[in-house]
Amino acid sequence: MSVHCVRGVVTRFMQDHDGRWPSSWTELEREVPPSASYQNTESTFEMGWRWPQDIAEIQRFITIDFHADPQVLAKQTPSEFQAIKTKDKEYYEYRDQYALLLDAIQKLQKVKSPDTRSGSTTPYGG
């Protein structure tokens, strides 16, 4: 599940860089996914992917908007989120992974999360 791997790497990057959104795949390549299931000196395995060795293969499936503004992203719902997308329209887009990423972005940006049921916002975590 390449979206899961990318979500983890982007989340870790933002945590390590004071909430900044990554500007390139090269920046992400140096990050270690936070929920890596196995790690050795050569690679980290995340949901069947070797990070960063499989980055070229992951790029075949995933596109990232490296110009996205995390303050804008923090105010989006999973259905509005477009900063990470799958390239193949037939490929399932894992909106639940986007929800997890948006949750992390909202924490890091200290922004209220959108309440998709009422259209209002509620303070994060409550």
How does pLDDT run across 38-69, given as a tens digit for each residue? 454 445 555 577 888 899 999 998 999 999 99
How many structural domains does the chain have? 1
pLDDT at 88: 73
Q: How far apart are CA 73 and CA 59, in angstroms?
A: 21
d(CA 62, CA 51): 14
Contacts 24+ apart (CB under 8 A), 9-15: 9/33, 9/46, 9/51, 10/64, 10/84, 10/101, 11/100, 11/101, 11/104, 14/70, 14/104, 14/105, 14/108, 15/104, 15/108
The amino acid occupying position 120 is S
Owning domain of residue 44: 2-122
- Rounded-to-integer distance, Cα 111 and Cα 98, Å: 16
Q: Which residues of the chain carry a pLDDT beneath 50?
A: 37-38, 40-42, 91, 116-126
> Distance between the two ends of the chain, CA-based, in angstroms?
30
Q: For 91-108, give one letter per residue: b (16+ CB within 10 A) or e.
A: eeebeebbbbbbbbbbbb
